[in-house]
Structures are given as C-alpha cells and as structure tokens.
C-alpha cells in the first residue's frame, strides 16, 4: 500500500519537465599554500564551475560569507540550455523568483495516448496554482546575477583542466589548480589562465569536466531534443495556459514528447535513453502528433543535450562536490531537473559553509558526505526511486502508456499528483482512495494491453553501452 501511495503521489509528475574533451591531471602535486601573515588572515577560495541554477544557487550562498572568496565560472553567459523549462510553484517562493522569469503559467495539461486518447488534467488546481514555464537563458541569468550581486566573482571562462594533488583527501593545505580559457566580449579566442582554489563545486552539467577530473564515475544518459517553434498568434492562443504531453513508441520508446508554451513560441521536443540514434525520428513524430496545433510554425532554434539517468557513483572526492546534472539529479519518468539542481546547489553550499565555520577551516570528505549527501539523499532519494519504478512500469510499452493516460483521468490522481509536484510533498491521501486506485491500475493495465498497438523493435547494442 505504501508503494501505491507513493506512486499515486508522483504519477503525473511527468508533466513537469522537458529533462572536444580536455586532459585532466589527477595526481600532479600542487605546491603547498603558505599564509602571507597568519593562518587566521587567509581567505579560502571556492570555485563554482557552471553558472546554471545549481551553480548560481551554490555561489550565492558562498558569496555571502565574508571569510570566503567565491568564483563562478561560466562559459556561455547567454546559454539557452535545451530544456522544457518547467518549474514547480514552490520553487518560485523558495528561491524568491520574480514572475518576470516565468513566461507562462500552465494550468491545463493534455495527455495523449498512443492511440490518440486525450485526457485533460488541471481541474483540481486552485486559482493561484500553476506550473511555471521558463526560458533557461532568462531564469539562469537572473539566478547568476543575484549570486554576483551577493559578491560572487563571475569568470566568463571554460575550465579545461584541473590539477588535483594526490593527497588532497587528507591534506587541506593542498590546493586545486584550475586551468581555463577566459573570454572577453568581441573576441572568439580565450586567454589561458589558471587559479588555485581550496574547494570546487562541480555544477557543469551532464558532461561535467569536474566529474571527470575527480573520477566521479560514469552514468547512463538520455538525449533531449527540442525545437523552439514560432506559431501563428491564433494557434498560440490555444497554449496560453496549456501544455501537452504525448506518449507512444513513435515519439519515444522510454519517455514522452512535449509541447510546452514559452514567451512567444512553443518548445516541441522529446527524449530517449534506449534509442538515442533515432532521436530525430522521434522528433519528427512529435511534430506530426501535434499536427494542426503547430501547423505553419517556423523553427527558430534547435537544441539537443544529454540528460543524466541516475546518480554519479561518487559525488564527493576530497574537497570537490558535485551538484545538479553533474551529480545526476534528474528524476526518471518526468525528467525534472531544474528544481533539484537549484536545491542541491543551495543545500551543498549551506552545509559546507556551516562546516567551514565562518571561513576558519576546510571540511573533510567525510564531513561533506555526512551532511550534504546524507541530507539530500534522505529528503529526495525515495522520490528518485519511485519515479524510476513508474518509468519502468508505464513507459515500457504502448499498453502501459494507454493505461497511464487513462489513470490520469482520475481526479484523485490529479489532486495528489499536483500536490506532490507543486510543493514537493505528499499530502491529502486517503487510504480508501489508494486502495481503489490499486484496483483501477490493474484494470487499466489489462485494458491498455488488450487495446494497444504493438511496439516497434530496434537494436543498437553498441550505442546502448555508451556512458558519460
């Protein structure tokens, strides 16, 4: 019954999102640092690599500490990450975001099954409740600028290598040396520079250079593909407060396709882990499924990006910690990552700042693991586990997808789902309704399997073994 309750609380969270290598020297000895006067007069340096929500939130916390010098590295200050851009309502308040970063307030969601059955959800929302739709270039810039206003020093640069001393886990006097290309406006080539720091926060996404440098291990990944499409005003009116989600093996064998409204266009996309080579085929299919609703639209931007599928094997090494996509904090089933990126960045920084005691000392690996990692996993680990199960159950074949859409017709499912997604907590559950849902789930699965069209087969044994 406990599993059923958790499943109910997360089942429609699927409406929430969307989800040249350098040489790294890991054992090069780095010169010991000596204080210019006394040990107490030294200011520790923290490098936050990556200026998205996770990095910006971490840098903001570090920058407010007088005993810490914070450097925020970001290669593209106008970066528009391929992303559905959905954020839960609680994030707006929790991270004090202005409504100017929210393009659209989605209050309705159409779910479309493989056979074209449509279910509309959103009737259970209150008048002041919504899912926020953002453009990443707007959201990221706001959060990054706030970190800078709080004292973080922004470096417009690409970190290319990190020298990690062999004894960094046990010797806090050893510093890490970042080599990077710093860019200036009007110049295409960067200037090679280096910086010695005492601590590194890796917030540099799925292809994290920090993760590679610290030997964090690899993870499986999805490819998210999205086209921003400018459609006629009369068609855009349909998406004023509406988002759409399509399931079926034509748009993805293990995920979903989406049409999410933005400021003056819609984001149309899909993603897959199982059949990454066919991503453009799936993208073509989602455009066809959307059909007349986006007909006559003009593609104004094409985006693609890897999305992590699970945690990194190691998220802390010495005084290096990973957050956001670099750590693997994207949920299965929904592909949601923005909230968890911001939350992990803030949580990691808060715990580390507390351990540093006003900039008087550096934390150990064991201390970071017993605070940041333990608290994050305790709070959100069950969510990741349940959504992983739900993805396996409901996205595995067309029969299960048909059942999923039918289940979402339940007002009880919608209510508990939105409570769970919008506020990141489970509330308002009724044991009798949970029991009823269990039987409804079984019935929907039987019906879905009997009515569904068979899934197409594919094979890519080499691609399926790739990890990043």
Burial of 430 (0-12, 13-18, 19+ CB in 10 A): middle
pLDDT of residue 34: 46
pLDDT of residue 175: 97
Alpha-carbon span 296 to 292, nearest angstrom: 8
Q: Percent of the chain scored above 70 by pLDDT?
A: 90
The dihedrals phi and psi of 255, each to the nearest 5 degrees, come to -145, -145
269: closest CA among 335, 201, 352, 195?
335
State the pTM of this model: 0.90
pLDDT of residue 12: 40
pLDDT of residue 433: 75
Residue ranges of the chain whose pLDDT lies below 70? 1-41, 426-429
* Residue carrying the six token digits 């005492």: 198
Measured CA angle at 202 (ends 200, 204), to 5 deg: 140
pLDDT of residue 89: 95
User: In this structure, how many other beta carbons lie within 10 angstroms of the beta carbon of residue 428?
Assistant: 11
Mean pLDDT, the chain, rounded, equals 89
pLDDT of residue 80: 75
Domains of the chain as residue ranges with CATH: 2-15+383-451 (no CATH), 39-80+138-217+310-381 (3.50.50.60), 104-131+220-308 (3.30.9.10)
Q: Beta strands 153-155 and 68-73: pairing type?
A: parallel
- Do 258 and 124 touch, CB atoms closer than 8 A? no
The β-bridge partners of 339 are none
pLDDT of residue 449: 87
User: In this structure, how many other beta carbons lie within 10 angstroms of the beta carbon of residue 318?
Assistant: 23
pLDDT of residue 439: 75
The β-bridge partners of 289 are none
Q: How many residues does the chain have?
A: 468
* Residue carrying the six token digits 């839960």: 88
Measured CA angle at 41 (ends 155, 348), to 5 deg: 50
């Amino acid at each position: 019954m406990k599993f059923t309750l958790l499943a109910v609380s997360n089942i429609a969270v699927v409406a929430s999102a969307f989800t040249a290598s350098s040489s790294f020297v890991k054992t090069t000895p780095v010169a010991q640092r000596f204080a210019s006067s006394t040990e107490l007069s030294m200011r520790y340096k923290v490098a936050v690599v990556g200026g998205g929500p996770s990095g910006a939130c971490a840098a903001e916390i570090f920058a407010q500490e007088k005993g810490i010098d914070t450097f925020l590295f970001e290669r593209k200050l106008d970066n528009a990450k391929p992303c559905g851009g959905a954020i839960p309502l609680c994030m707006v308040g929790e991270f004090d975001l202005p409504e100017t970063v929210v393009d659209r307030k989605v209050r309705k969601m159409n779910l479309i099954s493989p056979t074209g059955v449509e279910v509309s959800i959103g009737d259970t929302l209150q008048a002041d409740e919504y899912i926020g739709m953002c453009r990443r270039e707007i959201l990221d810039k706001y959060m990054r600028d706030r970190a800078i206003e709080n004292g973080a020093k922004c470096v417009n640069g690409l970190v290319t290598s990190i020298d990690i001393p062999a004894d960094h886990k046990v010797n806090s006097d050893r510093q890490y040396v970042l080599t990077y290309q710093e860019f200036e406006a009007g110049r295409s080539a960067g200037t090679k520079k280096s910086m010695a720091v005492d601590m590194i926060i890796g917030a540099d996404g799925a292809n994290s250079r920090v993760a590679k440098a610290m030997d964090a291990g690899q993870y499986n990944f999805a490819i998210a593909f999205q086209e921003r499409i400018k459609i006629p005003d009369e068609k855009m009116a349909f998406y004023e407060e509406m988002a759409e989600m399509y399931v079926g093996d034509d748009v993805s064998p293990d995920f979903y396709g989406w049409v999410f409204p933005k400021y003056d266009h819609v984001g149309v996309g899909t993603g897959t882990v199982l059949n990454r080579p066919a991503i453009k085929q799936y993208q073509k299919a989602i455009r066809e499924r959307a059909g007349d609703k986006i007909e006559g639209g003009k593609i104004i931007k094409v985006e693609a990006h890897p999305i992590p599928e699970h945690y990194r094997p190691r998220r802390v090494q010495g005084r290096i910690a990973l957050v956001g996509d670099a750590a693997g904090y994207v949920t299965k089933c929904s592909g949601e990552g923005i909230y968890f990126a911001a939350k992990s960045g803030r949580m990691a920084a808060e715990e580390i700042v507390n351990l540093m005691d006003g900039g008087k000392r550096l934390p150990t690996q064991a201390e970071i693991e017993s605070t940041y990692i333990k608290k994050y996993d305790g709070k959100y680990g069950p969510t990741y586990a349940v959504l992983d199960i739900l993805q396996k159950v409901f996205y595995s074949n067309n029969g299960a997808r048909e059942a999923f859409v039918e289940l979402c017709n339940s007002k009880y499912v919608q209510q508990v789902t939105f409570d769970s997604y919008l506020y990141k907590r489970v509330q308002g559950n009724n044991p009798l309704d949970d029991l009823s849902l269990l039987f409804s789930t079984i019935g929907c699965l039987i019906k879905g399997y009997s009515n569904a069209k068979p899934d197409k087969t594919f094979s890519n044994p080499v691609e399926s073994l790739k990890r990043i």
